[in-house]
Amino acid sequence: MAVVGVDFGTLASKIGVARHRGIDIIANEVSNRATPSLVAFGPKQRAIGEAAKTQETSNFKNTIGSLKRLIGRTLNDPDVQDIEKKFINAALVDVQGTVGVEINYLGERQKFSATQLVAMYLGRLRDTASAELKTTVSDIVIAVPGWFTDVQRRAILDAASIANLNVLRIINDTTAAALGYGITKADLPEADNPKHVAFIDVGHSSLSVAIVAYSKGQLIVKSTAYDRNLGGRDIDYALVKHFAAEFKEKYKIDVLSNPKAVFRLAAATEKLKKVLSANAEAPINVESIMNDIDASSKLTRDDLEGLIADELSRIVAPIQRAIDDSGLNLDEIEVVELIGGSSRIPAVRARIAECFPGKTLSTTLNQDEAVARGATFSCAMLSPVFRVREFSVSDINAYPIKVQWAPVPSDPEEDTELVVFGEGNAMPSTKILSFYRKDPFDIEAVYAKPENLPGGINPWIAKFTAKEVPLLGQENPGDAVQVKLKTRLNANGILGFEGAYVETREDKDEPAPMDGVEGGEAAAAPPKKKKIIKHEVKFVVGNSAMDKGDVEKLKEQENSMWENDKLVKDTEDRKNALEEYIYDTRSKLDDRYAPFVQQPEKDALLALLTEQEDWLYTEEGEDATKSTYVQRLDACKALGDPIYNRWRESEDRQRSIASLRETLNTYMAQATSSEEKFSHIDEKDKQSVVEKVAVTQKWLEDMTVRQMEREKFRDPVLTTAEISKKRDEVIYFATPILTKPKPKPPVVPTPTGSGAQTPKTEPEPEAKKEAPGPSEMDVD
């Protein structure tokens, strides 16, 4: 079972795996440890991750990023319309009630929902992990922002299911970082005096703050706070607007009116921002930004801070809110740990430092990989394959959840709502709710404060419908019965109605005492014992998760697209292999292959290579099938392989001859040796080894002479395969003879009846050795 954790990011994602007694962040197919969170569509196939990044500029209208920001949202969500549209060039559309994209794929316009896009991307991460671990990856832990709602978390689960992944846990990203920070520390204090650490994650699109209390073997999240729309991309966008205005005046071009120009400028400003994090001034150059104009400018760090003053001013509020909600004062917070790529910006660090006067900001964690490492630790803790140090994690709920119901006609003054899981409620958490009902009824779960939810997310979470209430145990016929409803907020932050039942009590007789009581007196009657019986209530639950049938359909569609992508890739590989063979063989015919080919043979091969090259660059050759490329490559190899084999034999023959000679000399020396270790071997056997070596040596000399007399352009008479076969024959013949063990010396019988025997000492029995247990691996 593979142990994999994923930090699902807006700009890029990281994959962690547990191996070699630790956590590794693995590299993708181009050796980058971060895989771009992009999905692109083309006329033949999809491009995901690095492949999408390489063609983003030329295919930006069919390339979709910000996947994490779209999943679980609707098209008319204000956040989608007012914020996300600025960072996505593809056309956003409605797909069955959720936001999706309309793009050109396989030569036609097609629509995909954000859930499908995330499934495609998770499939790419799955394949990357499988290639690295050389095993199938199915179980995974995914880190998401703590401000994700129930509908967004369920959409992540649906996307993972479409990608054939089993999510062991959805973990909040700051909690994952906190787990990675604490699980490796052996000096944590006792529970009565915990160590408090503030984690501040300034990512590409959002800012998250968590105050965590550590003690031996556990972490408890005290409070969290967020700014969902404050990150590195907002700083980039502020720079885009600044330089667009500057270039409009300087070059008389309107960058903001041209999507491709905006894209090019955004890529340049992101690089500029990184340079200014380490330098006081930096230039910006954008080649052919639009209308064949090369734009350039420069910016100082002070100018940058002035341009992003509004963004910087928003940093303090979530930090202060998290501190207030934790109930701690600043002196009680011992460490302030920074994570997230945007926390490297000096101005951002300065604003964070203002919130913690007198404290040094810590960067002991890898700012880019801390979340992925924590998610992987979480997966290892849930896996039976690894033994991980005992460490409990107590997370909290970001939004209060209430249940509501219609009033009962018999009791119109009854309350119709109840907050079940308040803000900051521990996760996981289970609560039993009691209702007095005699007819079928509905209970709805909703967020208690819709105004705190991201954008326009629907506060509705789930609906419980009791189909039939068993009328049992009433004092009077027609009375309502107490129905108990089990609700659970699980570790994924998802609410569920797990069961409903009606309890009845009935008397149960205790067993009578045994016969044979002294005096024959009758025993007292045993007391009655109350037994509680649960009667299940039939119910159905509705929530925002996709229907299983729909998931299966999308899974089939995803598998079909994956197979198509694989076929296109394999076809492209065969095409490249044919092209490579043509150029490589042609160049070697006048170089290393020259002595090994006759002119007619060379002319025929060159003619075939030219013919295949000409075909390759025709319209037919550009878009042929995989089997066609394979057939044409095989045709080339039919003429080219004999030439290659002659050259290869010439290169390897002398090494094989030397190896055989060394073997023959070794066995000849041993068979004719007078050393004590060979003295027990029969002379006939030794002689047979000598004869075998001599025959083989004679064969080698004869064949070597014949090969030297033969032209190089003819097929060899002495091949490395034959030489290796002869060597193996000698080894298999001589080794059993020359390694025959010496016979044991005969046992001399001891005379009996003399009375002078030496008593034998019985050997003491060896202490039983404990059988070694199964090897275990610590992920410390």
Q: Would strands 333-339 and 195-202 be described as parallel, antiparallel, or unpaired?
A: parallel
Contact call for residues 46 and 101 (beta carbons, < 8 A) = no
What is the third-level CATH fold of 232-313?
Answer: Actin; Chain A, domain 4 (3.90.640)
* pLDDT for the residue 722: 95
Amino acid at site 449: K
SS3 labels along 253-312: CCHHHCHHHHHHHHHHHHHHHHHHCCCCEEEEEEEEEECCEEEEEEEEHHHHHHHCHHHH
Rounded CA gap, 605 and 639, in Å? 6
The residue behind tokens 């309107």 is 254
The residue behind tokens 């002035």 is 306
CATH number of 397-509+528-546: 2.60.34.10
3 state DSSP class of 442: strand
Rounded CA gap, 15 and 18, in Å? 10
Neighbours of 675 (CB within 10 A): 8
User: What strands lie across the sheet with 39-41, from one edge to the other?
Assistant: 46-48, 39-41, 63-64
User: What strands lie across the sheet with 218-227, from one edge to the other?
Assistant: 361-362, 333-339, 195-202, 207-215, 218-227, 392-396, 426-427
Amino acid at site 667: Y
Residue 560 burial by CB count (10 A; 0-12/13-18/19+): exposed, middle or buried?
A: exposed
- Across 123-148, b (16+ Cβ under 10 Å) vs e yields bbbbbbbeebbeeebebbbbbbbbbb
Contact call for residues 355 and 316 (beta carbons, < 8 A) = yes
* pLDDT for the residue 503: 86
Contact call for residues 117 and 37 (beta carbons, < 8 A) = no
Phi/psi of residue 238, nearest 5 degrees: -60, -40
* pLDDT for the residue 468: 86
* pLDDT for the residue 520: 47
* pLDDT for the residue 614: 95
pLDDT profile of the chain (780 residues), mean per 10: 92 94 93 97 95 92 95 95 93 95 96 97 97 94 97 97 96 97 91 95 96 95 96 94 95 92 92 92 94 94 94 96 95 96 94 94 95 96 86 95 88 83 94 90 95 93 92 74 93 94 75 51 59 87 94 96 95 95 93 93 95 94 93 95 94 94 94 87 91 95 93 93 95 92 76 49 45 45
* pLDDT for the residue 522: 47
* pLDDT for the residue 532: 81
Q: Does the 4-194+368-382 domain belong in CATH 3.40.50.300?
A: no
Hey, where are the domains in the chain?
4-194+368-382, 232-313, 397-509+528-546, 647-738
Torsion sign across C-alpha atoms 617, 622, 624, 628: positive
The class (CATH top level) of 647-738 is mainly alpha
